Amino acid sequence: MYPPQPAAPANDRTTLFGVLGIVGAFCCPVLGVVFGFLCLQASKKAGKPPTLAYIGIVLSILTIIGYSITYAARR
């Protein structure tokens, strides 16, 4: 018996969501988290490593924390 075939490249949006998550982490961190989780789901479906998802989520959370500290320091 043969192993199942991976998803077709046209249907795989793992890289797209991962890059959008990383870029979104700096300009709009909430979108970075959303795209990070979308990338995580897409990578599980495609059988790819979720490295970009983790990077996007962590950067978004760190950016949110940094913005919060900066906002609190100004008050």
Confidence at residue 14, expressed as pLDDT on a 0 to 100 scale: 92
Residue 4 lies in a domain: no
Question: How is residue 24 written in tokens?
Answer: 């979104």
- Containing structural domain, residue 56: 13-74
Proportion of the chain in helix, strand, coil states, percent, rounded to 5: 80, 0, 20
Structural domain count of the chain: 1
Of 2-16, 23-37, 39-53, where does mean pLDDT reach its minimum? 2-16
Tokens 């962590």, residue?
58
Read off the pLDDT of residues 17-30 as tens digits, 9 standing for 90 and up: 999 999 999 999 99
30: left (phi over 0), alpha (psi -120 to 50) or beta: alpha
Q: Within a domain: residue 7?
A: no
Using the predicted structure, report yes or no on whether residue 10 has a pLDDT greater than 70: no
Q: H-type helices in 28-74, by residue range?
A: 29-46, 51-74
In a domain, 25, yes or no: yes
- Asked whether residue 52 is assigned to any structural domain, the reply reads yes
The alpha carbon of 44 is separated from its chain's Cα centroid by a whole number of angstroms, namely 13
Report pTM. Answer: 0.81
